[in-house]
Amino acid sequence: MPSNASGYRVGVDLRETWWIGDVEVPTRVVLAPMAGVSVQAFRRQGRRFGAGLVCSEMVSCAGIEHRNEKTLGYLRVASDEHPLAIQIFGSEPRAMAEAARLVEAAGADLVDMNFGCPVRKVTKTGAGAHLLEDAELACSITEAVAAAVSVPVSVKMRRGVENGARRCLELGPKLVEAGASVLTLHPRSAQQMYTGYADHTLTAELVSLVDVPVVASGDITSHAKAQAVLDATGAAAVMVGRAAQGNPWAVHEIVCGDATRPSREEVAAELIHFIRETVRELGERRASGFLKKFYAWYLGHGRFPKPFKNELVQLHSTEEVVTRLLAAAPGAAALVGELEANVPESEVLLDGMPISIYGGG
């Protein structure tokens, strides 16, 4: 395969298998861990549409340690999610190690650690992006977690806290030395949040500094962009986040380059299936509010008129939403039946886990 001027091979096939330790990942696309988004239904859908690795939203190690019922609900694992990374966050090595053990016992294929979240309620506890400024603590946490589990450990980080920071390049090699098997870099600063652009020249620099796979995160919105980032950086894979919200077809396009536009019936069917799976996971009360943002994501892109989305948001129950979607796209019913016929049971591997397996109510 040809290489670019930096020596990286050009034209990596995003459908190609790669490895994190002894975990085989079937495509070069990773579905990002997103708070308030990456529920089990979202992850399972991502795998169906071609994501090679899917990630849970970040789970508080304190919540795990205190056996908080809602927190432990994030540890449900379904057989069609693998390979799956469950992401944890915290600032105390012992607690993070204990959380990692439970994550492994729950069935995760990787333990992922969040060293990049810019949200104040996370950083003020010493977790998330705060750890970019405390290399000693970040390495202590990584070492403790890597020693606690037999599965690979990954770390997701940003470039640094302040704009223009290059802390990721100082910290990355130290994290690998401490036991990280893969690094994910979102090369925006914590200050930027999601503004501006992701500077993947930093990703290329990080790749040159470490001997483990690096996942490039940030602004991956198309097959062409994913290919360009892989070619320019030498990263092992790309991570897709906001582009996949309510749009699993974007995941398929990024993996395969096939930009076929879904029909209304396909959109309605995927949304109905997503609604029902989310209700099964969260319970009607929690799911009803959680799902409202997804209606705009699914029905946008010119797929349905805007007033229709506004109508769905006003409905009081998820079954009313399903009824309205089926009325708008009757052909979706058969597609929903096919999707539901292929759903395996969840694997709940922790005996006596104090969670409501069929929904949080």
Which residues are tagged catalytic? 117
> What DSSP element (H or E) covers 20?
strand 18-20
One DSSP character per residue, 25-52 reads ESSSEEEPP-TTT--HHHHHHHHHTT-S
Name the DSSP class of 129: G
- The dihedrals phi and psi of 161, each to the nearest 5 degrees, come to -80, -45
Q: Is residue 56 within 8 Å of 33, Cβ to Cβ?
A: yes
Taking each helix axis as running N to C, give the angle between helix 318-328 and helix 332-341, from 0 to 180 degrees, rounded to the nearest 10.
130
DSSP strand pairing (346-347 vs 77-78)? antiparallel
Q: Which two tokens stand for residue 259?
A: 């930009």
Write the CB contacts of 291 (distance below 8 Å, at least 6 apart in sequence): 274, 275, 278, 318, 321
Distance CA 305, CA 80 (A): 33
Spatial contact of 185 and 217, defined as CB atoms under 8 Å apart: yes
Instruction: Give CA–CA dist 91/79, Å, rounded.
Output: 31
Report whether the peptide linkage leading into residue 330 is cis, meaning its omega lies within 30 degrees of zero.
no
Cβ neighbours of residue 330 closer than 8 Å, sequence gap 6 or more? none
Contact 286, 73 (CB under 8 A): no
